[in-house]
Amino acid sequence: MTPDATDRAILNRLQDGFPITPAPFAAVARELGLTEADLIARLERMKSARILTRFGPFLDAEAMGGAFCLCAMAVPEADFETVAAQVNAHPQVAHNYARAHRLNMWFVLATETGDEIAAVAGVIERETGLRVLRFAKLREFFIGFRVAA
Amino acid sequence: MSIDATDRRIIAATQAGLPLVPEPYAALADALGMDEAALCDRLRAMQERGIIRRIALAPNHYALGMVANGMSVWDVDDARIADLGPRIGALDFVSHCYERPRALPEWRYNLFAMIHGASRDEVEHKRARIKAILGDACRADDILYSTRILKKTGLRLRQKEG
């Protein structure tokens, strides 16, 4: 499916946040001039079509005492799918992207404790026989993750 | 800062997403055997403490035609990154901006700025604007385009208590 103008308005609105009230869809629907049922039906459709990747609480692992770390690997093309499966099998891998570069696999580890980052990276190195470069964030300049739909 | 067993159960129950029903918090509270008001109080408290950044939707950029997604990387003078970083992070087309350690000799870049666009031309145009801001504080740069999402789930909690 291709999202129409109403779907796009929903995507834009819901990236900014969702109220914690007994009938939150009704509240957002009112703002957008929709009915609650239409809003929910559209979200269901977009979820099925995978236009919506996630809808729910976004956590800050660091605020919970945990950690995030961006990691990169240089994976030989012939082994790429195998290594992707090995990396993705770890629940601590929050997302993983193929990128056009010698370092062609970039993933984020999200763990509940700082120590777990090194441990998981070590396990991935042993499983794959490849080096895992770790780029822990030193400073964050902005996080207003939002894409105009 | 940490979370207790009840917060942990709430987070675990929402990691697959909020139910798409008129009263999602009531449905969630039922599933957890909790009172809806108590659940909402805890969600609000976690949001105030920054444990929950926000309750929101994450769209799939590719499905929205944002097919070009470039991780721009910059080798910026360490003495100037504190001043320049916030200027890059403030650009409306930069979604994430971080200072990260170099991994010499393999990786010389210390500033990462994620740029999204409908085409590589659009991303390259935005990248040129970053380059202009960094000026002579930038010694080298590159951009890594994503070619495929291999996984995207967000943070998962282990199913443990406490």
In total, the C-beta contacts within 8 angstroms joining chain A to chain B are: 238
Q: Is the pLDDT of residue B153 over 80?
A: no
Q: How far is B22 from chain A (nearest CA, A)?
A: 6
H or E element, residue A60: none
Q: Is the pLDDT of residue B160 over 60?
A: no
Q: How far is B131 from chain A (nearest CA, A)?
A: 17
Nearest to B106 among A65, A133, A144 (CB): A133
Which chain A residue shows the shortest CA-CA distance from B14? Answer: A56
Which chain A residue shows the shortest CA-CA distance from B84? Answer: A141
Q: How far is A85 from chain B (nearest CA, A)?
A: 9
Nearest to A59 among B20, B99, B155 (CB): B155
DSSP assignment of A85-112 equals HHHHTSTTEEEEEEESSSS-EEEEEEES
- What is the residue extent of each domain of chain A? 5-48, 67-135
Q: Is the pLDDT of residue B122 over 70?
A: yes
Residue type, A38: D
Q: What is the pLDDT of residues A81-138, one digit of tens each?
A: 999 999 999 999 999 999 999 999 999 998 888 889 999 999 999 999 999 999 999 9
- Best CA proximity match to A13, nearest among A27, A28, A30: A28
Token pair recorded at residue A119:
């441990």
Give ipTM to 2 decimals: 0.71
How far does Cα A12 stand from its chain's mean position?
17
CATH number for the A67-135 domain, one of 3.30.70.3460, 3.40.50.410, 3.40.50.620, 3.30.950.10? 3.30.70.3460
Kindly determine whether residue B3 and residue A20, on different chains, have CB atoms separated by under 8 Å. Answer: no
- Best CA proximity match to B52, nearest among B152, B154, B151, B153: B154
Q: What is the pLDDT of residues B4-34, one digit of tens each?
A: 999 999 999 998 899 999 999 999 999 999 9
Residue type, B3: I
Kindly determine whether residue A95 and residue B100, on different chains, have CB atoms separated by under 8 Å. Answer: no
How far does Cα A15 stand from its chain's mean position?
13
| Residue B72: predicted pLDDT | 98
